[in-house]
């Protein structure tokens, strides 16, 4: 399992990649047979999913380090 500092470093790296994609630095152009193809290796949606997963993993690690449970107990409620 990764430590909180490793996860924070990963989050910083993913955010830097997101900025480079937004700036257009991650977009590639390929020319073949007189045709141009422009694409990026990853999408903003993909980066958002990775950030969400890393933030959840960081929260889980911090909860384990703090000794608190991951989630609160599920309450039972009967409705009439």
* Residue 52 lies inside a defined structural domain of this protein: yes
Burial of 43 (0-12, 13-18, 19+ CB in 10 A): exposed
21 in any annotated domain: yes
User: Is 80 within a domain?
Assistant: no
Report pTM.
0.65
Give the percent of the chain with pLDDT over 70: 86
> Is residue 23 within 8 Å of residue 67, measured between CB atoms?
no
Under the banding of pLDDT at 50, 70 and 90, the label for residue 30 is confident
What size, in residues, is the chain?
Answer: 80
Q: Which CATH number is 14's domain given?
A: 3.30.1580
Query: Could you tell me if 35 and 60 are in contact, meaning their C-beta atoms sit under 8 angstroms apart?
Result: no
pLDDT digits (tens, 9 = 90+) for 35-72: 887 776 778 898 999 999 999 999 888 887 766 555 66
The total domain count for the chain is: 1
């Amino acid at each position: 399992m990764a430590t909180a500092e490793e996860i924070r470093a990963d989050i910083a790296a993913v955010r830097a990649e997101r900025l480079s994609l937004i700036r257009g630095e991650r977009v590639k152009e390929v020319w073949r047979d007189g045709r141009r193809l422009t694409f990026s290796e990853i999408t903003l949606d993909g980066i958002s999913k990775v950030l969400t997963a890393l933030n959840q993993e960081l929260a889980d690690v911090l909860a384990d380090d703090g000794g608190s449970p991951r989630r609160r107990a599920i309450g039972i409620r009967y409705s009439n």
